[in-house]
């Protein structure tokens, strides 16, 4: 069985490149198509030109070319996988080639984060980045929180790593189109500390579970309606994961999941949240799911504690 985590990539025998979208792969690798060989493409790897496909375009392509692989994500049969790409693999080479990656790596090494606990994903992982590419940096497990604090400290120094300016924040907000106001969005985002600029390029610090944090797959529940709740967060250890997981103290809902990056890290343990989403019945428990579509409407998470709106 192929071992692949979120933020890994796979390359198929057709040289299609997919981003892994799950920790569990019972019937094939759960992933989403990102790059396809195309003579008119603007990126190049191993003598092939590639075109990048956004989410919706990727699904249209797969429905036309591999409809049997299309479910909620793309399911690639294991016998079609030629190679698995892991985020730590390109780091040694990138440190010598890219000043932006080198700057982030050096900050994390100074914080005693092992090299094998960090990596890059997105276009940098297969080597398809260009000058406009964002830097999607990965840190595994609890080392992620150390990395976040190290990046926050680096932003306060006169160096290569800087805070995001107001113009970029507006771009991020307008791209995500969340169901909360810009003012609330900014208040939550600036506290998270997992975004920044490095050498003038936007970068994200992305969480991936350590192998020891991976337990069982989330079983699919039955949708039983929608609900808005207020509840106290009792566990936020996996709040920056995908999906984000918030255990809550509530008489009907066991935990809140977010499948949209907008609400990752949205609240801390001990805080009171307001959340609206789809209720799933899973055995004897119910969970509230936020991010049930690409641009979810009528679904959100906000920290009432952070906003000063709870008693």
Banded pLDDT at 310 (limits 50, 70, 90):
low
Average pLDDT of 209-231?
88
Banded pLDDT at 17 (limits 50, 70, 90):
very high
Q: Does position 254 have pLDDT exceeding 90, yes or no? A: yes
How confident is the model over 62-73, as pLDDT tens digits? 999 999 999 989
How confident is the model over 121-159, as pLDDT tens digits? 999 999 999 888 899 999 999 999 999 999 999 999 888
Percent of the chain residues past pLDDT 70, beyond the cut: 98
Residue 296 confidence (pLDDT): 67
How confident is the model over 81-110, as pLDDT tens digits? 999 999 999 999 999 999 999 999 999 999
Residue 18 confidence (pLDDT): 97
- Backbone dihedral region of 265: left (phi > 0), alpha (psi from -120 to 50 degrees) or beta? left
**Residues with Cβ within 8 Å of residue 88, at least 6 apart in sequence:** 115, 116, 117, 118, 119
Give the integer Cα–Cα distance in Å for 229 and 253.
8
Q: SS in 3 state form for 72-124? A: CCEEECHHHEEEEECCCCCHHHHHHHCHHHHHHHHHHHHCCCCHHHEEEEHHH
Tokens 């692949």: give the residue. Answer: 4
Residue 136 confidence (pLDDT): 95
**Residues with Cβ within 8 Å of residue 289, at least 6 apart in sequence:** 256, 257, 258, 259, 277, 278, 279, 280
Q: Does position 311 have pLDDT exceeding 60, yes or no? A: no
């Amino acid at each position: 069985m192929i071992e692949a985590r979120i933020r890994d990539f796979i390359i198929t025998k057709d040289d299609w490149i997919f981003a892994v979208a799950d920790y569990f792969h019972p019937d094939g690798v759960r992933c989403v198509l990102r790059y396809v060989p195309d003579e008119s493409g603007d990126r190049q790897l191993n003598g092939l030109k590639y075109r990048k496909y956004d989410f919706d375009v990727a699904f249209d392509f797969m429905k036309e070319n591999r409809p049997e692989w299309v479910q909620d994500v793309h399911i690639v049969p294991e016998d079609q996988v030629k190679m698995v790409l892991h985020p730590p693999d390109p780091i040694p080479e990138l440190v010598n080639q890219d000043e932006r990656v080198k700057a982030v790596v050096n900050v994390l090494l100074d914080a005693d984060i092992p090299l094998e606990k960090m990596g890059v994903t997105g276009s940098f992982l297969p080597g398809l980045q260009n000058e406009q590419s964002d830097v999607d940096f990965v840190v595994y497990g609890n080392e992620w929180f150390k990395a976040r604090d190290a990046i926050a400290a680096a932003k306060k120094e006169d160096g290569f790593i800087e805070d995001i300016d107001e113009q970029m924040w507006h771009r991020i907000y307008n791209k995500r189109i969340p169901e909360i106001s810009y003012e609330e969005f900014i208040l939550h985002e600036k506290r998270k500390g997992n975004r920044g600029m490095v050498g003038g390029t936007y970068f994200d610090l992305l969480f991936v579970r350590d192998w020891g944090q991976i337990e069982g797959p989330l079983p699919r529940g039955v949708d039983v309606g929608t609900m808005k709740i207020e509840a106290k967060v009792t566990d936020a250890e996996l709040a920056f994961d995908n999906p984000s997981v918030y255990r809550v103290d509530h008489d009907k809902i066991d935990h809140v999941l977010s499948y949209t990056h907008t609400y990752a890290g949205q609240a801390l343990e001990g805080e009171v949240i307001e959340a609206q989403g789809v209720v799933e019945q899973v055995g004897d428990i119910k969970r509230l799911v936020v991010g049930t579509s690409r641009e979810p409407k009528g679904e959100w998470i906000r920290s009432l504690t952070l906003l000063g709106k709870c008693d």
